[in-house]
Chains A and B, each alone.
Chain A
Amino acid sequence: MFSQPFLSVKISNALRLPMYAALAFAAAQRPAAAQTSPAAPKPSYQVEEIPVPKGIAPEIGGLGFTPSGKLVVLTRRSGILTALPTADATQMQWTRFSDQSLHNANGLFVISDREMLVSQMPELTRVLDNDGDGVADEYRTEASFNLSGAYHEVTAGPVPDGKDGFFIALNTASHSGFTFEHTRGVFSEVSRRGRNFASVQYRGWVMHWDPKTGLTPWAKGFRSPNGIQTGPDGAVWVTDNQGDFRTTNPLYHVEKGLFYGHPSSLVWDPEYVKADPKRDPLKQPMAELDAMRTPAAVLFPYGFSRSPAEPLFDTTNGKFGPFKGQMLVADAAAPRIIRVMLEKVDGVMQGACVDFYSHNGLRNGSNRMAFSPEGTDLYVGQTMREWAGAMEGLQRIKFNGGNVFEILSMHLTRDGFELEFTQPVDSGVGEKPEAFATESYWYEYASNYGGPESESEKVRASSVKWSADRRKVRLVYPKMQAQKVMRVNLTGFTSGAQPLGHAMVAYTINRLAK
């Protein structure tokens, strides 16, 4: 379809060199010296820019692959593109699969070369190429979403439920947007109140849709859930954005019927308004809302993630490095992808987060991700429409092999943590508690738009015990408390003189280990 060669947007070689971004801010940054050394080995992970043809706005709302191996790129206003990935990212032959009709499309599930499910502002749409000419000729409405008229009422998903259905997350409206005189869907005056609000039905909900039962509400209490994913075990994971009733950015393990803390969606819960159709959740005492809500599995440190987007499980079985089965989370407001290490403690999912990749050629605005069929490349699509700097485009992170030296896992124990590393840690390193500088703090549940770390205190491990193979270390603390984030900064860690890639890790303790 694009017979004319298009001007490629090549990034300079300099960008591909391992460079350390000397931002004063991030506590997670590693020391500069080792990485900038000319003798440094080829980095295990490298970012490549993927240019798209002129006339396409590379605002990426979804990424996927067809069973035949074609990359599918959903854009927010330029429709759907496909291309077979090439080794040289500038040489991809792009084809327009759809027209440009989709409104702020922000979720994609690829069924085949000829069929895709797309969520756009007003609906879930099945995009079909019935005649097989490679271009969609039908846009079939599968489910309708209500809109009050706010730009913020975007969707995330569909993600498959493992059977015939899908989950979709519906964002609330923002007070920075508009409310139309004529709303799509019944308008609730009660729920027009709020910084972020749900004046039309099912805003702030995670929905379930399947062809037989249609669209049904599934879980509530979300604010700006711009990331949804189902795990290999079928569990539903949703990221939400810091703001009102969100002190920091959370990752939720979502279960049917539960409430996740942002109150506006409650007006659309028949049980909630049973006794009083005009019941206003914004007038309900915080303590009551707090008692109703299910806390986040992971509270991302705010400096760490300003705007989490799509989570994606590493299903590559080792093709993308040592983090098999772990979750990666795109971050839309910083050049960063986060890695999440989850575990079930006392029946509840919780865990730790660490940088997976930051700076070094990655753009701000990462929104959607997909692994290549081979598993060696992570495709990353960006968009935030000018919210904070350069944020539109398409990239991929290649795994080159080599020694990855990172924290592999962090387990909560009865009296502290066990940290596991991908490589043996040099002896003489990390022998003393000071090498594990630890802070403990909490994010209060509050109505405010964001909030500080509270109850913050420095804590010191009382003992450090290494395994014989120097891959695991047990940290014991004088006391462990539930409802704390414990953030550990590792200092001076090396493996065969290779510095630890990312040295700050933060564990959200909802439940103590028994």
Chain B
Amino acid sequence: MSLSLSSRSLALFACLPVLVQPAALAQKPAKAETLKVSINVVPGAIRFETTRFDVTAGARVTLTLSNDCVMPHNLILIKPEAEPALVAAVNTMGLEGMDKHFVPDVPGIIAATKLLQPFSKEQLSFSAPAAEGDYPYVCTFPGHWFTMRGVMRVRAAGVALAAPVKSGGNVEQVPDALKNSGMTHKPLGTPEKPFVMRTFAPDPGLDPAVFAHHGVGKDGVKYDPATRLDVTEKVTDPATGAVREVPVVRKAEKGIAGAIAVNHGPDFSYVWDSTECRLLYVWRGGFLDMNTYWGKEPGSGRPKMYIPLLLGHLVYRASGSMPLEGGVKTAPVFLGYKMEKGIPEFRYRVGTKTYREKVLPAGLDRFELRITPEEAGGANVWIVPPGETAVTSVRGEGGAIVVSVKDRPEPPQPAATPAAEAKTKKP
């Protein structure tokens, strides 16, 4: 089947699934021939439905991109020789790409849409190049261009135009197996079988002293690998109006890298840290919202924040240095954990001494630490730090030190910080 711009072939257009039709024909025959092209995004497939369409050299073209996908997409139509430079330029855009719709300032772009948000469309009008040839169009949203692409064929005047090629029938779509996995972003354990999960964990603003054996992370400055220089921005002093160049700073964030988060059901959760080898905090009323790390719906976009949100309210937070008699002179060494009837027992070494430790709920407003020194006799013992009022008792029990702690409830954690919300919007 061929397409030409003559009125004789109008009957053909009616049966074409993708519109390439001389829209102006009905009103203004012959002169202002405008080719209409509609390109749909195949939802979830990182593909354009139309992978090839023909136009006549020099013709006016209106191209409508419809994005019915949950991801943002754009379409850049470019001269074939310009594509390597386009790819290279997009790859250097980084985060600012979002602001520029991933349309870099490179020569050879014939037409480009904005970055279309889900369920939106945009119409482009342009003149087809005068030179015959294959002109690629691509989506330059990161990761998309290698599958999301097609070709505009520019044909000489008088040459019949072929029907557009659609990719729907002949490109396999392998489903994302995660979509039907039934995974939840709010995992929960039970008192009998706690849910144990090593993860980046939130740092609810703990006493810095508890991070005695961590490094001190500093703010970073955005760096441009192309220039090998730090990236700066202009800032205007509101008082004087003076403009200064300052580095673009990426603040260090609160988070715990080596955390082990454990949940005994809605009533009891804690974070035990494999770097400090101690209990850091305890909370009740929920566990962690992993949306920020895993995505909310299985297979949906991820906010790429990587620190989960804490659900519920804190009832204990560690402070000060590790409460072992004699202090801790070298960094503790985490040795792993065993599951004992479903309960994790952490094992670690401090100096020459080895300890095992369990954290157990003890009613609705108490919990216990059970610390067992492995070496017989003379082991360091847990001490109640000065000013510590949450610890109600420390007793020996069958070779273990049992530390009883009473809840000190805090207000509920904020559901999500504004910054987190902002970052949650886009995959």
Contact = CB atoms under 8 A, between A and B. Distances in A.
A252 B87 CA distance: 24
A475 interface: no
A109 to B, nearest CB: 17
B253 A179 contact: yes
Contacts of A24: 51-52, 136, 149-151
Contacts of A448: 88, 91-92, 225-226
Size class of the contact patch on chain B: 35 or more
Contact of A178 (B167, B170, B214, B306): B306
Contacts of B208: 182
Given A306-B146, A449-B225, A452-B84, A179 B175 contact: no
A416 interface: no
Contacts of B270: none
Contacts of A122: 198, 257-258, 274-275
Contacts, number: 291
Contact of B217 (A19, A136, A199): A199
B216 interface: yes
A449 B226 contact: yes
B221 interface: yes
B217 A334 contact: no
Given A389-B45, A452-B84, A179 B174 contact: no
Interface stretch (B332-340, B361-369, B385-393, B402-410): B332-340
B20 to A, nearest CB: 17
Contacts of A151: 200, 293, 304, 306
A77 B200 CA distance: 12
A447 interface: yes
B250 interface: yes
A7 B180 CA distance: 9
Scoring A14, A102, A178, A242 by chain B CB atoms within 10 A of each residue's CB, the highest score goes to A178
Contacts of B252: 178-181
B294 A449 contact: no
Interface residues of A, number: 103
B255 A121 contact: no
A303 B147 CA distance: 10
A139 B258 CA distance: 14
Interface in A1-45: 7, 9, 11, 14-15, 19-25
A176 B198 contact: no
Contact of B228 (A22, A120, A391, A447): A447
B226 A55 contact: no
B146 A303 contact: yes
Interface in A116-134: 120-123, 125-126
Interface in A425-465: 447-453
Interface of A: 7, 9, 11, 14-15, 19-25, 49, 51-52, 54-59, 77-78, 99-103, 120-123, 125-126, 136-141, 144, 146-151, 175-187, 189, 192-195, 197, 199-200, 242, 244-245, 282-283, 302-303, 306, 333-335, 359-364, 382, 385-394, 447-453
Given A77-B294, A149-B200, 8 more contacts: A9-B177, A24-B52, A52-B177, A59-B178, A180-B203, A393-B174, A449-B94, A449-B226
